[in-house]
Amino acid sequence: MIFKLIKASVAALALLTVPFAAQAADVPIKPPYYKGAPRSVVSYYNWTGFYAGINAGYSWGSSDLDLPPVVSLKPKGWMAGGTLGYNYQIGAVVWGLEGDVDWSDVSASTACIGFSCDTKQTWFATARGRVGYAFDRWLPYITGGGAFGHVKASITDPTLTGGSDTMTGWTVGAGLEYAFLGNWSTKIEYLYVDLGKFNCGVSCAAGLVTDNVTFKENIIRAGLNYKFSGPIFSRY
């Protein structure tokens, strides 16, 4: 009797299992969800912001006095000073304004009409725009704008006092800047400068109403800047 009851129970359990197995076979199996590899975020140095710095370099060029005959000099010497500027970065393009004022000891002397003629630049300044293309921390750029300098012209003739003027001209050039530590950057640049001319007149040549003095120079200098504002890094 007990054996028959066990057989009946097993049979009933088997009948109940069949529909549940059929329903389980109909349930769709979801494939595993693949999120993909983590996406890396690349940060680039951001050049936007105000900055200040120092610069120093060497200058060489030419300076003519319109004495009869024309006297040509080759002034050269050192200069050093300070820089102020602002950069604004759009994508990888960096637009900027920069100004600097330098002490200058750029001079030359040559024999002329039995005496010695001299020209000397005592200070130099620029107000320039610049545009560059940023390769992360590297910034090659071109620059151009106004140039200013105080130039003295003299002759050793004791009857002549010589003359001087704050000359105004233009400059163009190019450079490369590198941001090496946080907000610090260093640069090297070349500038060509034409300060135009001024009339030294009878102060440089007796009896001459007009005695123009010209001054042109090539400048190569290095600089160290500190950026005060703006984010250090960005994405573009």
Domains in the chain (CATH in brackets) are 48-231 (2.40.160.20)
pLDDT at 231: 73
pLDDT at 38: 57
Residues 15-40 pLDDT 10s: 444 444 445 455 455 555 555 555 55
Strand stretches in 66-92, DSSP E: 71-73, 76-90
> Do residues 98 and 82 lie in contact, with contact meaning Cβ atoms separated by under 8 Å?
no
CA neighbor of 202 nearest in space, from 166, 162, 165, 152 = 162
pLDDT at 31: 58
Strand stretches in 66-183, DSSP E: 71-73, 76-90, 93-112, 115-133, 138-155, 163-181
Residues 86-107 pLDDT 10s: 999 999 999 999 999 999 999 9
pLDDT greater than 50 at residue 13: no
pLDDT at 93: 97
With the C-alpha atoms ordered 82, 179, 142, 89, is the resulting torsion angle positive or negative? Answer: negative
For the chain, the farthest-separated pair of C-alpha atoms sits apart, in whole angstroms, at: 151
pLDDT greater than 70 at residue 166: yes
Pairing of strands 163-181, 184-199: antiparallel
With the C-alpha atoms ordered 13, 15, 20, 22, is the resulting torsion angle positive or negative? Answer: positive
- Helix (H) or strand (E) holding 4, with range, is helix 2-26
Mean pLDDT of the chain: 86
Above pLDDT 90, what percent of the chain?
68
Supply the DSSP string of 206-223, one letter for each residue.
TT-S--EEEEEEEEEEEE
pLDDT at 29: 56
pLDDT at 5: 42
- 166-171 average pLDDT score: 98
Lowest mean pLDDT among 15-19, 66-70, 117-121, 195-199: 15-19
- 40-48 average pLDDT score: 81
| Cβ atoms < 10 Å from Cβ of 90 | 9
Bridge partners of residue 99, in order along the sequence: 84, 127
pLDDT at 215: 97
What pLDDT band is residue 6 in, cutting at 50, 70 and 90?
A: very low
| Cβ atoms < 10 Å from Cβ of 9 | 10
> Do residues 118 and 164 lie in contact, with contact meaning Cβ atoms separated by under 8 Å?
no
Residues 105-157 pLDDT 10s: 999 999 988 899 999 999 999 999 999 999 999 999 999 999 999 999 999 99
pLDDT greater than 60 at residue 85: yes
pLDDT at 187: 98
What pLDDT band is residue 2 in, cutting at 50, 70 and 90?
A: very low
CA neighbor of 169 nearest in space, from 135, 201, 195 = 195
CA 52 to CA 179: how far, in whole Å?
14
